[in-house]
Amino acid sequence: MPSSNDRLQHIAEALMLKPADALTAAQRTFAVAWELEAEVRTGGLHQYFMNSAGGREAAAALRAIGAEDTAEIVAEAVSAADTPDLDWADDEQRQDHMSDLDEDVEDELEALDDRLHANAEPLAERLTAFVGANPQAFSREALASA
């Protein structure tokens, strides 16, 4: 029987094959939280913001899966890095913006990374529970349909 992490990986891979606008709300929540976990674990918040359009959605996705502490830290990071005219969906604009952050903002993101790693909220457990609470969104049929 596959482990819960294997199941989460399978879900993430299936969702990556679907167009973003074809995801249900629960699937989008999962995808944003999963991507954040993967990016932050390997490269921190700055890397996540460089590689993901989900920045503004991240705190809400984390709250939806029950990761309140992580959501609070991520909301602070988004607030530090965000500007009113930043279009997070525009990869080039977002990456240019993140490349040109002030040193103070970079330092703040690093401090928030440290808080995230010290927090160590069990996001995989939260995601597993979220999947269990939303069986229709994560059924074989739902994951196969595009």
Strand runs (DSSP E) across 2-117, as ranges?
none
HEC secondary structure over 113-136: HHHHHHHCCCHHHHHHHHHHHCCC
The pLDDT value given to residue 12? 95
The pLDDT value given to residue 1? 53
pTM, to two decimals: 0.89
Show pLDDT as tens, one digit a residue, over the chain (146 residues): 567 789 999 999 999 999 989 999 999 999 999 999 888 888 899 999 988 877 889 999 999 999 999 999 999 999 999 988 999 889 999 999 999 999 999 999 999 999 998 987 899 999 999 999 999 999 999 998 75
- Domain map of the chain by residue range? 4-144
The pLDDT value given to residue 127? 97
